[in-house]
Amino acid sequence: MGLFDVFKDKDEDENSGGMAEKTPSFESEPEPKVVESRDETPSTEPAEETTSYSQAETAVQSQLGIEGLMDKRFKLGEAIDYVGSMIKELRDKRTNLTKSIEDESVDIKNLKEKLTKISQFIQEENDGLQELTRKRSEVEKDADDVGNIIYGLRDKITEIDKVVADEASRIKSFKDSKS
């Protein structure tokens, strides 16, 4: 196994359906193992091969990194669209709730007006009943007064009747004494 075989296996995996065909998720990010591996290279190898291979690998990684970023950007765009649709739904729900509350407010105001009218009617009826009670009390008082007057007149008539009876009895006794 050669010095760069570690990188070749990785390159073969990448070219055979590795990262190029997969779409990375939000959580997965390409791991830069190149830096760790480059530190392990012995100084006996020519600098050209290391530099050219590193540039190719960096190009692949930067391409994969860009694809990852593009994929993340696309997913973030979808997430933003989803959040936007949720916001629209929430606004629609809020609008519907506002309309429902306004409808209920109108209904409650109408009921309040009706209850106010009913309360006024009840107050007018109570006032009318109090007026009737007052008038009935006056009529009862007048009836009592009339009854008292009648009893007073009956007593006077009874006294007059007694006086007339006494006078009739005196006249009769006077007639009887003359006859």
CB of 53 closer than 8 Å to CB of 97: no
What mean pLDDT is predicted for residues 56-75?
73
Confidence (pLDDT) at 53: 56
Mean pLDDT, residues 60-78 taken together? 79
Mean pLDDT score of the chain, rounded to an integer? 77
Could you tell me which of 52, 56, 60, 53 has the C-alpha nearest to residue 20? 60
178 assigned to some structural domain: no
In tens, the pLDDT along 81-124 reads: 999 999 999 999 999 999 999 999 999 999 999 999 999 999 99
**84 located within any domain:** yes
**CB atoms near residue 87 (< 10 Å):** 10
Query: What pLDDT does 56 receive?
Result: 61
Of 63, 18, 56, give the one whose Cα is nearest residue 34: 56
Assigned domain for 164 exists: no
How many Å apart are CA 115 and CA 106, to the nearest integer? 14
Domain that holds residue 18: 5-88
60 lies in some domain:
yes
pTM of the model: 0.41
- pLDDT, tens digit, 9 for 90 and up, residues 129-150: 999 999 999 999 999 999 999 9
Q: How many domains does the chain have?
A: 1
